[in-house]
Amino acid sequence: MRIWAVANQKGGVGKTTTTLALAGLLADAGKRVLVVDLDPHGSMTSYFGYDPDTMEHSCYDLFQHAGSIPRGLPEQLLRDTSHENIKILPSSTALAVLERQSPGQGGLGLVISRTLTQLSDEFDFALIDSPPLLGVLMVNALAASEYLVIPVQTEFLALKGLERMVNTLKMINNSRKQALPYSIVPTLFDRRTQASMIALRMLKKQYPETLWQAYIPIDTRLRDASREGLVPSRFDKNSRAMLAYRALLKHILAKLFEPLPISQSIDSDSKVHSQ
């Protein structure tokens, strides 16, 4: 199983949308995909029609068994979604009590990593949506992942949040065996506005190595998809935003599976790539 996280210490930048756009494309290609909602607000959980305020069982259950997660518990928490190849580990509002806890406390940092190990035969990909705060939950997301996507809204104020995120990552890399590779992804780009243009130019200058060299445009089809509870590719697979997300997915796959031709890495069995 390949595990990716989508994170930024800022809300409203397109984290949940990016998670679902990428998950949908992988699932459309026949991959078995797990999406993990680690945001106590539970946007992704709501997206698929579940109410995070009343969820009886959620990711929170896993954190109550920090040291050793009972066999079979992760499977019990999985829920279906509108896509037959996507399952969700839902969030619940209860997660909020963990959100601000310091990551060092009580050895809670590897709960999600251990959970995904238990599920590794059942899925080809796991995509983790994170809360906009550095705490136990984000640390779990980053510790479990082999790749990180950082969506950043193309506006001036968002660049500050990005700086914070990149610093957080440096801190977390100190406690990982290998530095976590990442891509910065400009989102909500509106070419008619000066603000978007300026932000994009600054990003290119400040992050020449890690910036994905394209952007996700503003596209109302994404909001329409969320209203319907469908992953964006199922709602309109040729919308402008989805064309951009498809290019982003190819970029990530090419980075992770460098020796293989891109088409092969999307189309063939992921087991081939984990060798």
Which residues lie near ligand ADP (CB under 6 A)? 11-17, 43, 187-188, 216, 218-220, 222-223, 226, 241
33 strand-pairing partners: 86, 125
39 closest CA partner among 69, 70, 5, 77? 5
Instruction: Pick between residue 125 and residue 215 the one whose CB is nearest to ligand ADP.
Output: 215
Given ligand ADP, Mg ion, none, residue 216, with its beta carbon under 5 to 8 Å by kind, binds ligand ADP
Residue showing the smallest CB distance to Mg ion in the complex: 16
Given Mg ion, ligand ADP, none, residue 218, with its beta carbon under 5 to 8 Å by kind, binds ligand ADP
What minimum distance in Å lies between the beta carbon of 149 and Mg ion? 13
By CB under 5 A, tell whether 15 contacts Mg ion: yes
Pure H helices in the chain: 15-28, 43-47, 59-63, 73-77, 96-99, 111-118, 136-144, 156-173, 194-206, 220-228, 232-235, 240-256, 262-267
Given Mg ion, ligand ADP, none, residue 226, with its beta carbon under 5 to 8 Å by kind, binds ligand ADP
Instruction: Pick between residue 173 and residue 220 the one whose CB is nearest to ligand ADP.
Output: 220
Instruction: Pick between residue 28 and residue 219 the one whose CB is nearest to ligand ADP.
Output: 219
Distance (Å, whole) CA 42 – CA 159: 25
By CB under 5 A, tell whether 16 contacts Mg ion: yes
Of the candidate residues 8, 9, 18, 43, the single one contacting Mg ion (CB under 5 A): 43
Distance (Å, whole) CA 73 – CA 243: 37
Instruction: Pick between residue 19 and residue 85 the one whose CB is nearest to ligand ADP.
Output: 19
| Crossing angle (nearest 10°) for helices 194-206 and 156-173 | 30
Q: Sheet of 79-80: strands edge to edge?
A: 79-80, 86-89, 33-37, 125-129, 2-6, 147-153, 182-187
By CB under 5 A, tell whether 10 contacts Mg ion: no
Distance (Å, whole) CA 145 – CA 5: 6
Given Mg ion, ligand ADP, none, residue 241, with its beta carbon under 5 to 8 Å by kind, binds ligand ADP
Instruction: Pick between residue 74 and residue 232 the one whose CB is nearest to ligand ADP.
Output: 232
SS3 35: strand
Instruction: Provide the residue type at 25 as one letter.
Output: L
Binding residues vs Mg ion (CB under 5 A)? 15-16, 43
